[in-house]
Structure 1
Amino acid sequence: MGDWTAEAVRRVKDDQGAVHRLFPVAAREGGPGARRALLRHVDAATVVALYRNGDAGERLAVLDALADLDLGDAGLPLVEDALRTNDARLVAAALGPYGARTLDDHAYRQGVLKCVFMSIPLDGIAGLDERSDAELARMLTAYADERRAAGRPVPRDVLERI
């Protein structure tokens, strides 16, 4: 942990409110991993606020860290929000380990299908082997059939799943 990050973590431990000033500049000042280090020292409500008030990079940092934080289901609305965006980075991060663990079957399947529509590689989706089921295969098959009917290619990773 670099000097800036260590000092920022110390400040957040002393006063959780300091994270609202430090989190936005953490990537620039502390480098990779600084935001994750700060998130480990705040409560669930603060994590949610950082996501809600953050830019795309800050939201991505929160989503990427969710699996390492002890939030219970408090992070689920963040994952659901990210899945409603058109930012491929946020959608992919929403289907990381935390999303794979907390999304219900329907929401998870819809997230996978959104990844397909957004050309996000399926091999980056956490838990896909474990969470694949007949309904997801049916959805992917229907997608592939529509692509073929339109004379369009079907992505290889979709073909591997049906």
Structure 2
Amino acid sequence: MTSTTNLATGLTAGHRERLMRVAREVSFDTGTRLFEEGRHADRFWIVRTGTVVLDLHVPGRRAAVIESLGNGELVGWSWHFPPYVWQLGAEAVSPVRAHEFDAEAVRAMCARDPEFGRAIADWVGRVVAHRLHASRVRLLDLYAPYGSGGAL
């Protein structure tokens, strides 16, 4: 768990409280696909318990697991940027309880309150940067002749 993907350190207490007002509790059984790469991104989650893995489709191979997410971490960022299409896939690898958010409602909140919108955009942007780095390292580990080399 990193500070960039964790809700507790990603947003101020006031912004967290405001975001949580529109959350609904959901649960997923082991093996449930939360979303598929290339499909419409209309919601996102913050994990309460359990583990969700992010994966990347690799033609001719099994999907590459990019990262595992747990308590307090943001699952999904594609809802924040047009054209709102998932860039990765996600699957529950254990029973998961999470807070689910309607993307359109959160984007509307961001539009109504520029300060809140900037805080959400900053948090989601840090998550994107973290996931891009994690994707690069994982793909180098899997497919580069000498792996990532650990010197990134």
More helix per residue:
1
More strand per residue:
2
Q: Which structure: larger Rg?
A: 1
Mark yes or no: TM-score above 0.5.
no
Greater relative contact order, per chain length (Cα 8 Å cut-off, separation 6+): 2
What is the TM-score when the length of structure 1 is the normalising length? 0.25
What is the TM-score when the length of structure 2 is the normalising length? 0.26
